[in-house]
Amino acid sequence: MQYLVSILIPTYNRANLLKRAIESALKQSYDNIEIIVSDNCSTDDTKEVVSKFMDNRIRYFRNERNLGPILNWRLSLKIAKGYLSVILSDDDYFLDEQYIENVVKLFNRYHSVNLVITDCVLGKTNKEHRTH
């Protein structure tokens, strides 16, 4: 089944890192996605970074005040329209362009799955990462 998957990118004053997170989400092989950027009242050029992406799958929301990280995540989940959701922190990015596609395949295979946690790479350069 082609579920809508919401990729949630909560952010606060990390415009310099946000671009890479959004680019990695847009490169996903799974087409039925929406990208929610939930700006926690940033004072940098976060809005401008998002507006440079001319893609109607991206939805930008800015909080009127900083809610803290947990409430910002919860707000992104409320805004999301997808049947499945993935939180992608603003300082992270997908290494595997088939990540969402593979998660949906797992979900379709094991309908009792409620949460998927995968390996992540911390403190490595692009040349050092490995995928399974």
In angstroms, the CA 29 to CA 102 distance is 10
In this predicted structure, the answer to whether residue 43 has a pLDDT above a threshold of 60 is: yes
78 vs 7, 12, 36, 114, CA distance in Å?
Answer: 13, 18, 11, 17
Mean pLDDT of 61-84: 94
Cβ atoms of 37 and 9 within 8 Å: the answer is: yes
Query: Exposed, middle or buried by CB within 10 Å (0-12, 13-18, 19+), for 80?
Result: buried
Specify which residues 17 forms β-bridges with. Answer: none
Dihedral over Cα of 72, 114, 124, 122: its sign: positive
Is the pLDDT at 120 greater than 70? The verdict is: no
Query: Backbone dihedral region of 38: left (phi > 0), alpha (psi from -120 to 50 degrees) or beta?
Result: beta
Which residues share a beta bridge with 5? 33, 84
pLDDT for residue 116 is more than 70: no
CB 18 within 8 A of CB 46: yes
Q: Residue 130's pLDDT is what?
A: 47
